């Protein structure tokens, strides 16, 4: 059995830092010597373009891998686009997958089966989920050991979370018994506002064990990096955003090791 751990980075709300967390957590894991794969499961293809690829010219993508017979993950993955970092790219065609998957055999397991064939190449696989709870996200949850939930430090941060937690529960009961909420990442924190601190307190009360101690600040350099096709480590490795994601990665690795030990 592979020791690879797979995590879905999910929240049905858009603009909460899913892609930023996917790219920069993966980049920091790679920097720490962990072979890491990002699966771009969002039709907006932001993880793909954020790593400098042209989503219109990637060729075969996660879409073909999910719906076309004979297209395998190893044929689609862009291996080592950075040292220790690979990408399973997306393109706009992926919008059709939520509809097409309905009619396919093993529709909830397509991603899991595809990734099983390449797991041995990686230490970690991070799945950047779309802002919805459709079949693409269900595929991600069915393929994963745990869920990383980014929450922005803004009003209504916890609104809608029960829906996601219910979906995780349904997937655990019917499709993937081991899955759990692995961690909550607070993003876009502004220390100048009282609201930000209130959200941190509220999330700590709701998710005392799951919340990561690291809080990712609202940071211009983090926002800029994808437009250059760069990770925050490449764009500004000394920025508050880079320091936060390095700290988050240390927490993540320690928590994943505990998870590994508990399953041993």
Contacts of 162 (CB under 8 A, 6+ apart): none
Q: Which residues pair with 217 in a beta bridge?
A: 189
Q: What is the DSSP string of 157-223?
A: TTTTHHHHHHHHHHHHHHT-TT-EEEEEEEEEE-TT-HHHHHHHHHHHHH-TTTEEEEEEEP-HHHH
DSSP, collapsed to helix, strand or coil, labels residue 255 as: helix
Query: pTM for the complete prediction?
Result: 0.96
Digit-coded pLDDT (tens) for 128-185: 999 998 999 999 999 999 999 999 988 788 887 888 999 999 999 999 999 999 999 9
DSSP, collapsed to helix, strand or coil, labels residue 125 as: strand
Digit-coded pLDDT (tens) for 185-241: 999 998 888 888 888 888 899 899 999 999 999 999 999 999 999 999 999 999 999
Q: 19, 11, 10, 57: which is closest to 38 by C-alpha?
A: 19
Q: What is the pLDDT of residue 98?
A: 87
For the chain, domains (ranges, CATH) are 5-263 (3.40.50.300)
Q: 44, 123, 120: which is closest to 89 by C-alpha?
A: 44
Sequence length of the chain is: 264
Return d(Cα 172, Cα 199) in angstroms, integer: 28
Digit-coded pLDDT (tens) for 22-77: 999 999 999 999 999 999 999 999 999 999 999 999 999 999 999 998 999 999 99
Is the sign of the CA dihedral 244, 246, 252, 254 positive or negative?
A: negative
* Six token digits for residue 39: 């699966």
CB distance 150 to 252 below 8 Å: no
């Amino acid at each position: 059995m592979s020791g690879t751990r797979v995590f879905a980075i999910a929240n049905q709300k858009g603009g909460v830092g899913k892609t930023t967390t996917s790219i920069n957590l993966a980049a920091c894991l790679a920097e720490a010597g962990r072979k890491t794969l990002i699966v771009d499961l969002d039709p907006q293809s932001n993880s793909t373009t954020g790593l400098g690829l042209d989503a219109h010219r990637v060729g075969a993508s996660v879409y073909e891998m999910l719906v076309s017979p004979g297209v395998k993950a190893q044929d689609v993955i862009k291996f080592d686009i950075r040292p220790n970092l690979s990408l399973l790219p997306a393109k706009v065609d992926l919008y059709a997958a939520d509809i097409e998957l309905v009619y396919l055999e093993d529709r909830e397991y397509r991603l899991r089966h595809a990734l099983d064939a390449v797991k041995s190449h990686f230490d970690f696989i991070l799945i950047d989920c779309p802002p919805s709870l459709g079949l693409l996200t269900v595929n991600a949850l069915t393929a994963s050991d745990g869920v990383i939930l980014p929450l922005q430090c803004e009003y209504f941060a916890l609104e809608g979370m029960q829906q996601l937690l219910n979906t995780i529960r349904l997937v655990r009961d019917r499709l993937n018994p081991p899955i759990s909420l692995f961690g909550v990442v607070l993003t876009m924190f502004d220390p100048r506002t009282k609201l930000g601190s209130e959200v941190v307190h509220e999330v700590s009360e709701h998710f005392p064990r799951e919340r990561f101690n690291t809080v990712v600040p609202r940071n211009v350099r983090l926002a800029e990096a994808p437009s250059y096709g760069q990770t925050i480590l490449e764009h500004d490795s000394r920025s508050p955003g880079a320091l936060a994601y390095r700290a988050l990665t240390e927490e993540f690795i320690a928590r994943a090791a505990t998870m590994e030990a508990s399953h041993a």
